[in-house]
Structure 1
């Protein structure tokens, strides 16, 4: 009985084995014969990998084709986070420690660079990794070739680490140019930006893209970034490449041509630095110490269309700091007040009282209202307004004078009388907001209190300290100050207690003192250097306001023009040609006999007719800010220096040096062959692209005037 049962079990097992074998054979037959084509296609698909090939970012060049922002091929070391996390924590630390020593990087800095921004313990961007968590993180750039080769040869010691050649941003600095605030910088795309790009099917962005963050790099990022390509690769089960597949070449970014001239930009930057250094060794009689000269800006415009020829900001920084991987210390320095917040563009973002450079716009408003060019007012040494004595700052007492002499000599009391009369006509302290104020309305017509519209992000709009601003400011702050006034014992400052009580009671009132301060660019009115330059450009070109432009055109790889970036008219100022000519003549006298004359001795004003206006703005608790605004038919040059003294005293020499460079003036003689600009005018045509890809200067036509000038020489 037992033997029979054993045999039966063996038979059952044999049947099962045969059945399973038959099933396996049937399945193999189905896979190989019936579904063979489908599974072969799936296998081939699993073996193919698409590798993104990043495009070269487009060039940024100046008006003559000199590269301001370019690219260079460099060795980059990356860490693959997904592979790194598969290692034991101790092994991770060992790998990163060896890597930090090899690339000469602090271990903590390396650790910060591979942390995802937003995760626990991560530093603020861009010190952390703000890109895709699945993309290899670049931790060291511009690595020596021998270090890169060493990493490749010792791959078993550095799992999750790779060294590869990449194209990264470079700043060639033609003529020694910095232009960091104009150019901006690039950093890796953020995860949110990448997700947004995928939602809108933007194929120009991927997890490894870099994106413009400031300046023209940001404004024209879509033109500069290009379109990535792909390289198909066939791999085996271990991920080893066994064959090359289909490839799609990347499309390089387009070339952005700017109106910047590198030589003029370099001159402006150099003169700013020189003026700062001089001011810091100059004694300030008011404070009893040397001027601090904390910051400065210079801007050169073409008044005919508003194009920016140069825009220099001090202090500045090396834009290359973003390319090589910025450290926490470097990032803090860029934002720190101790270092002058160099990320801030003083040209477009510094908002300061304009001082007497404001007077031509006040003169225009007065002349278009109730006054005329024959009006005479007393330029006394001071004027009593209410309970306060308002004095001339830079001007002496000249007796009865007209607008022309008041502008050239910068007589404060002349403009005090203009503003006081207007304030009285409007109803004084009883006037409501919205009352007709010709001086404020003219300032607004020249574009002040509004952004100029320049094609660089982050521009400030300034403000007009008029009745409306005072009312708005009082409404926004009355609760705070009234709370202090109700419980003054909680505040230690006696001044703050007094101010709070007065502000709470009648801080909305626009007094006569506010009006006269407005007339000389003091008080609550603030402008940027660019706004002032745009206003003076309107004086120079006959009354047209332009939105300034840094970019001129976008070129394709072969040099063909994708699009030209035309200047935009922002409007016309409501000033008659007669009054514009009158103001123009007065400002020409400023350089001849007025407040700028002591800096223009020996300058050929008969050939290069520079009109100018100086300004010195007093700021409570700070040293004075100096301004010089100047122009002729070809250029506008404006310079500002914070806490550096009077306008002509702080900036006069530097502004003169810029004019001399623009026209090639040497020893009081105009040498147009030495001028920084072609024919002493901004070029109209665009740079050319050679067959080998080099950017060449634009072709300039030789005119009869050029030939006559050469014959004269």
Structure 2
């Protein structure tokens, strides 16, 4: 044999041997070293993991009545991923699904498209990797067609699952308090490690507002899983393993459904009455607080909406109605997010500030029809003078000029137009001590801070608005002048002043501040909290809605306590003095007309009217109250934007709430002896215990 040929054969034998060794080694590696791993992968080809959704917990009132519960419904969902893998992009599946459900194919296509810029609802705001619900409350016969013909509907599921239901006990519909659910987004899934996604909308919903968002972790429960065996066509042939879902816990709140319903009705009656009188009455709030604990008993907001609108998806028209000003932005809670000038209800803070600044609590002060603050006359309501009076009557009769005088003198002592390095600003400081200008800390998301203006705020605001004001000062307001020359001239004069000296804290700013006007803004929740502090002796409680988290078996998982209350830096004799003055307002003061014939023997109520002027709009109507006066339990506040005077609109609403709680000759009380439940409600399988 040729030596060269022999050499080639040897090399060939060596290569074949090497290849055989590599092959044998690889086979040994796959079957021995990595055999367990690949056996698992092979098993996965004939099994499927299904995450089983947990039933979300209920939200209950203080007596255990459900404000939010669950009902069962047949929900049809579509898996976008499976759909897009089809040769026709899923068109055939959607066409067949449209015929079965009786819904247009275009409508189904819209429901499963992903939300994004320029995409109008309906669309899917959640993760693109979850099956998307296209119809809830499906007729069982239609669902059966889908389940029996799975080969025609790959990626389509029909499952019985829990959906949120709102039973409205005693007519209570606290939509803004409860909040709503929306699908979890892919971004949230990426951030929230350990969150199991079911593939069904029931557990992939998360709280987006209100209590649903605040207590989402407690309410949502823990999903289970089921490992099922499938054949080559993907049909289920059996179950390999299963772990049951853990239902969500129930949330017991301090809301009393009876009082909540009464507050909503009273607010509606007040708004309807104001509108009959020719006023816009475009928004309102009514709130009831337990002054000793800070527990929220009722929180009514207007305009409102039906939270069931979120169930099963929401149209673009419905979505815009919830957010748009045309419908009054009903998604906003006027109790916690609405910010309004408080008017004379704010004087309880100004009295305390004036006394702390050195004015005599028992002094006599003139109450003329107008008082000159700098070179401008500031008038009483309707220019009426009341003669000399003490601070008690200043609150009862709501004399503005006494407070203008206090504010102007304080402003002068601080240096006037050339303030001291560290001005005292006693009224600003006291307002902040009362909790105005900061969040109360209530267990709800998205609470507004309100606004307590001062010198620093005015300078910052001037910086932001200076360019616009200077433009108005130079060019005027020609569009306004076409229809209202007087207003255009006024706006130009204001713009000129703000352009050049808008950063200056003027005497008029201090005067307006003292009576809750000008740039002062508060929320109804801040105001009811301030009056609760007057009622309970000076404790600024932290408002709370959640009372306890209870397991499905009725046992207590967690008690929800409020942070410790701060104390008002106000002497007890001043607090008592203010409280005594408030007691006379419904008897002989500005609310005497609204409370005429009110049964003060059943429950003695004190309070303060407020009528806040808003440029270009009708007055904001307020009434803040406390009672029973001998041993206060509740603070009740009502507000109607563009509702007129406090005495004509808000005060009657507050009266209606008190009468509902304590009863009248013709109506039994909602609260026996004016008391709330002292124990947690007993749920099935558990015992009620003291909260």
The TM-score, its normalising length taken from structure 2, stands at 0.89
Q: 668, 678, 681: which is aligned to 1:684?
A: 678
Within-5 A mapping of 1:92-103 = 92-93=90-91, 95-100=93-98, 102-103=100-101
Distance change in 2, residues 1:417/1:83 (3 Å): same
Give the corresponding residue for 1:664: 663
Which moved further from structure 2: 598-607 or 409-418?
Answer: 598-607
Number of the residue aligned with 2:652: 653
Name the residue aligned to 2:452.
Answer: 464
Aligned to 1:147: 142
Partners of 2:103 and 2:524 in 1: CA distance: 41
Equivalent residue in structure 2 for 1:581, among 561, 572, 576: 576
Give the aligned partner of residue 18 of structure 1: none
Task: Give the Å deviation of 1:40.
Answer: 5.3
Q: Using the alignment, how far apart are the partners of 1:309 and 1:265 within structure 2?
A: 7
**1:277-315 CA distances to partner (integer Å, 9 max, x unpaired)?**
111111xxxxxxx10110110000000011100000001
Are the aligned partners of 2:538 and 2:570 in contact in 1 as well (CA < 8 Å)? yes
Which residue of the partner structure matches residue 247 of structure 2? Answer: 252
Matched, 1:384 2:336: no
Which residue of the other structure, out of 400, 406, 409, is the alignment partner of 1:418? 406
Match of 1:407 among 387, 391, 395: 395
Structure 2: gaps spanning 5 or more residues: 1-19, 481-487
CA contact (8 A) 2:78 2:132 kept: yes
Distance 1:116 1:159 in 2: 20
Post-superposition offset of 1:32: 13
CA RMSD across the alignment = 2.9
Deviation at 1:248, TM superposition (A): 0.7
- Residue number in structure 2 paired with 1:164: 159
**Do structure 1's residue 344 and structure 2's residue 344 form an aligned pair?**
no
How far 1:151 sits from its partner (Å)? 3.1
Count of residue pairs brought into register by the alignment: 658
Q: Secondary structure at the match of 1:534?
A: helix
Does residue 522 of structure 1 match 2:517?
A: yes
Q: Distance in 1 between matches of 2:449 and 2:39?
A: 65
Shift of the alpha carbon at 1:153?
4.2
Q: Does 1:556 align with 2:551?
A: yes
Aligned to 2:61: 62
Contact 2:77/2:132, CA 8 A, preserved across alignment: yes
Structural mapping, 1:153-552, within 5 Å: 153-155=148-150, 158-198=153-193, 201-203=194-196, 209-282=204-277, 290-393=278-381, 396-432=384-420, 434-482=422-470, 485=473, 494-552=489-547
Counterparts of 2:40 and 2:610, CA distance in 1: 78
Pick from 115, 119, 126: which aligns with 1:122? Answer: 119
SS class of match (1:280): helix
Describe the SS at the equivalent of 2:619: strand
Q: Distance in 1 between the 2:674 and 2:595 partners?
A: 20
Deviations 1:337-372 (A, max 9, x none): 111110010001110100110111101111222112
Query: 1:230 deviation in Å?
Result: 0.3
Of 241-250 and 583-592, more deviation after overlay is shown by 241-250
- The reply to whether residue 593 of structure 1 matches residue 591 of structure 2 is no
State whether residues 680 and 690 of structure 2, in contact with CA within 8 Å, keep that contact through their aligned partners in structure 1. no
How far apart are the structure 2 equivalents of 1:562 and 1:196? 27
Contact 1:197 1:205 in 2 (8 A): no
Secondary structure at the aligned position of 1:688 is classed as coil
Q: Shift of residue 699 of structure 1? A: 7.1
1:169 match: secondary structure: strand
Cα 1:407/1:40, change in 2 over 3 Å: closer
* Partner in structure 2 of residue 15 of structure 1: none
Q: Does structure 1 retain, via aligned residues, the 8 Å contact 2:100–2:145?
A: no
Structure 2 SS opposite 1:377 = coil
What 5-or-longer segments of structure 1 have no aligned partner?
1-21, 283-289, 702-713
Task: Tell whether the 8 Å contact from 1:660 to 1:666 is kept in structure 2 after alignment.
Answer: no
Change (3 A) 1:392 1:426: same
Of the structure 1 ranges 516-525 and 657-666, higher mean CA displacement relative to structure 2 is found in 657-666
Offset of 1:174 from its aligned partner?
Answer: 1.1
Which is worse superposed, 536-545 or 493-502? 493-502
Supply the distance in 1 between the matched residues of 2:596 and 2:216 (Cα, whole angstroms): 46
Q: Secondary structure at the match of 2:516?
A: coil
